[in-house]
């Protein structure tokens, strides 16, 4: 009997099953994202795949039909059928990988643990908890655990980027007023 993947996506897009060690995954609504660090995928291979996918998407731009990908491995004539928007997302992913960037795919409605959110912000977990307690980022308690919606984390990042840009603009204005530039 063939070995099966211990993970599967549910209809809601949530990862279910067991982790690599065989332990049950948390059932508290958190989502495990898929992440590729820079260098995991060879940039040249990603570039070649990107060219092939972009050529195909360009040739079939008027079509909204699903795309059948014939794999080099598997049974002869076996095809993997992808909705066109998925193939386009795949092309965007390949473009980032071809540029040597890492990629992370996360459902929009994902709910994160404090550690996952801290990792995404590149801050310590205690610093993130300070942001949560100050009201800078909304959160909900699940039992005694804090959970952060991915959408709320993205909103915080957008607002923080605006604040940083405004502060940099203000510093540049002061620099010009003082004749330092």
The confidence score (pLDDT) of residue 88 equals 86
pLDDT surpasses 80 at 45: yes
Task: Out of 44, 77, 105, pick the residue that ends a domain.
Answer: 105
pTM: 0.57
Q: Which domain holds residue 157?
A: 1-33+107-181
pLDDT > 90 in the chain, percent: 34
pLDDT at 113: 95
For residues 64 and 150, membership in a common domain is answered with no
Statement to judge: residues 112 and 172 lie in one domain: yes
Domain boundary among 82, 105, 128: 105
Please tell me whether residues 96 and 45 are part of one structural domain: yes
179: Cβ contacts below 8 Å, ≥ 6 apart: none
**Higher confidence at residue 1 or residue 76?**
76
Burial annotation 81-116 (CB, 10 A radius, 16+ → b, else e): eeeeeebeebbebbbbbbeeeebeebeeebbbbbeb
Q: Which of 50, 77, 105 is the last residue of a domain?
A: 105
CA dist list (Å): 86 to 56, 58, 83 = 14, 15, 5
The number of domains in the chain is 2
Cα dist from 51 to 41, 48, 57, 95, 133, whole Å = 16, 5, 10, 9, 47
- Which of these, 137, 95, 141, 144, lies nearest to 118 by C-alpha position? 137
Q: Residues 40, 28: one domain?
A: no
Percentage above 70 pLDDT, the chain: 80
The confidence score (pLDDT) of residue 2 equals 36
- Mark whether 172 and 117 lie in a shared domain: yes
pLDDT, residue 127, reads 97
- Over the stretch 107-128, which tens digit does the pLDDT of each residue have? 878 999 999 999 999 999 999 9
* Domain co-membership, 97 together with 62: yes
pLDDT, tens only, 97-108:
888 888 888 887
Same domain, 111 and 76: no
Q: Which residue has the higher pLDDT, 149 or 57?
A: 149
Q: Is the pLDDT of residue 41 over 90?
A: no
Flag whether pLDDT at 91 surpasses 80. Answer: yes
Do residue 64 and residue 93 come from a single domain?
yes
Tell me, yes or no, whether 167 and 177 share the same domain. yes
- Which tens digits make up the pLDDT trace of 48-80? 888 888 888 888 888 888 888 777 776 777 777
């Amino acid at each position: 009997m063939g070995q099966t993947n211990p993970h599967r996506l549910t209809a809601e897009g949530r990862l279910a099953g067991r982790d690599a060690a065989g332990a049950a995954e948390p059932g508290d609504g958190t989502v495990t994202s898929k992440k590729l660090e820079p260098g995991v995928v060879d940039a040249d291979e990603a570039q070649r795949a990107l060219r092939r996918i972009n050529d195909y998407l360009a040739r079939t731009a008027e079509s909204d039909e699903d795309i059948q990908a014939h794999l080099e491995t598997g049974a002869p004539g076996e095809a993997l059928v992808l909705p066109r928007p998925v193939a386009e997302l795949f092309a965007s992913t390949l473009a980032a990988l071809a540029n040597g960037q890492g990629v992370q795919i996360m459902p929009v409605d994902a709910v994160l643990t404090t550690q996952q959110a801290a990792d995404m912000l590149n801050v310590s977990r205690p610093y993130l908890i300070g942001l949560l307690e100050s009201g800078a980022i909304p959160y909900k308690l699940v039992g005694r655990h804090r959970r952060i919606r991915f959408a709320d984390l993205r909103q915080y990042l957008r607002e923080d980027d605006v604040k940083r840009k405004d502060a940099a603009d203000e510093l540049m204005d002061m620099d010009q007023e003082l004749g330092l530039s």
